[in-house]
């Protein structure tokens, strides 16, 4: 009985964490191509959970809260056009044991700014 109660409690916590997280559809990112405008990208992907602008490059982040890892998509725009996209993940180890909505863990895990973006920002 104790084992069943523990399992039910764990299941309820897991369902709550998943329901409380962000669930953007990252699978449609294959429809994106270089040169698309921000409005064209937003029509496909929806509104990003976060956007940043630094040294001529705008960066949009989309995410999906997962059980063992959160999935992310970073999109990079230069002069209003999509120039690069990056998929990355963040695990519970990457967050130091913290959990919750993936929007809290942007640019963590195996995120690495693409070389093309670094070069533009160094100009």
Q: What is the rounded CA–CA span in Å between residue 15 and residue 25?
A: 18
The predicted-structure confidence for 64-76, as pLDDT tens digits, reads as follows 988 878 999 999 9
Q: What is the rounded CA–CA span in Å between residue 20 and residue 98?
A: 14
What is the pLDDT averaged over residues 33-52?
95
Name the token pair of 62.
């989309």
2-122 is classed in which CATH architecture? 2-Layer Sandwich (3.30)
- At 5 the pLDDT is 65
Please enumerate in sequence order all residues whose Cβ is within 8 A of that of 72, keeping only pairs 6 or more positions apart, or say none. Answer: 26, 61, 62, 63, 64, 87, 88, 89, 90, 102, 106, 109, 111
Judge whether residue 34 has pLDDT over 90: yes
CA distances from 84 to 5, 14, 51, 96 (A): 48, 34, 15, 29
Domain ranges of the chain: 2-122
Judge whether residue 6 has pLDDT over 50: yes
Judge whether residue 19 has pLDDT over 60: no
pTM given for the model = 0.79
């Amino acid at each position: 009985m104790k084992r069943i109660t523990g399992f039910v409690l764990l299941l309820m916590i897991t369902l709550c964490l998943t329901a409380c997280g962000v669930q953007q559809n990252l699978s449609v990112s294959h429809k994106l191509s270089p040169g698309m405008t921000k409005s064209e990208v937003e029509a496909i992907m929806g509104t990003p959970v976060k956007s940043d602008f630094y040294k001529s490059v705008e960066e949009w982040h989309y995410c999906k809260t997962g059980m063992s890892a959160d999935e992310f998509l970073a999109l990079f725009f230069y002069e209003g056009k999509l120039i690069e996209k990056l998929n990355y993940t963040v695990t519970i180890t990457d967050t130091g044991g913290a959990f919750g909505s993936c929007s809290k863990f942007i640019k963590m895990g195996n995120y690495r700014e693409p070389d093309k973006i670094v070069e533009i920002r160094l100009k």
